[in-house]
Amino acid sequence: MKLRDIFKMELYKNRNDNTYVLIIGILMAMTALSTFLGIGMIEGTFDPNQTNFMTIFILLMVFSVIGLWAFSLLYPFRLLNVDYNNKVMGLIFASGVSREKYYFVKVGATLLSCIIATFLILFIPAVTFLTVYTKEFVIAMQNIFGTFSLGDIFPFLLMGVFTIIAYYVTLTTAVITTKGKIVGILLFFGFSFAASIVESLVGIPVLSSTNTAPGSLANVYYLKTIFALLQIVAFGFMGLQILKKQDL
């Protein structure tokens, strides 16, 4: 089976996960409602002094934030461990799919599916604020990026991309190590904590000895990018080796 076909199969399977499609829909509704209520309060349509309104608004905001945080962890975990839980991992490899191909396709498909889901959840709030408060949004972006020098923007984006990839690779290794068991989430936290400790122990002395130009954070971003790359390589290699040796 070709790599492209395996990737399409994974995306199809992710798209038809009815439980999480429903959860995505609920989160979309919650973030949209929070946005509309917030704009209504700013514009004076709703009275913020009304106890019932503020209670509903605050609860909705809190549950939306908690829901997004939980979703960012549980959704990729679900996509990664579903083949273990369904007992089809052995059948996938028996059909001729190599474990190396499966590993890279699984990480890629999970990453893409999570990006699409996040885009859908935050689409209405983003479009609404851009439409209603376009000028304020532009000013806010100017203030944010005004703190960056031109040479800092690319390193910042590079760091963001590889940090996200490192997150999913580390989570994948935790899932593989525990064969999809829920304890894999705790193992993921342990992996992440260990990686952050190593980064701190090595990164702080390196930055202390680096002459960073005033107002420039490029060295920090590049160093974090390097650590993210090392995390990807280390946990990717670890996860792949464990997957190759697993008796499924």
pLDDT of res. 13:
86
- DSSP-derived letter for residue 97 is -
Listed as ranges, residues in the chain with pLDDT below 50 are 214-215
pLDDT of res. 215:
45
| Gyration radius from the chain CA atoms | 21
pLDDT of res. 214:
46
pTM: 0.82
pLDDT of res. 151:
64
- Please write down the long-range contacts of 48-54, taking CB distance under 8 Å and 24 or more positions apart: none
Q: How many angstroms separate the CA atoms of 84 and 78, rounded?
A: 10
Q: Is residue 17 helix, strand or coil?
A: coil
Neighbouring C-beta atoms of residue 235, cutoff 10 Å: 24
Q: How many angstroms separate the CA atoms of 239 and 166, rounded?
A: 12
Neighbouring C-beta atoms of residue 225, cutoff 10 Å: 20
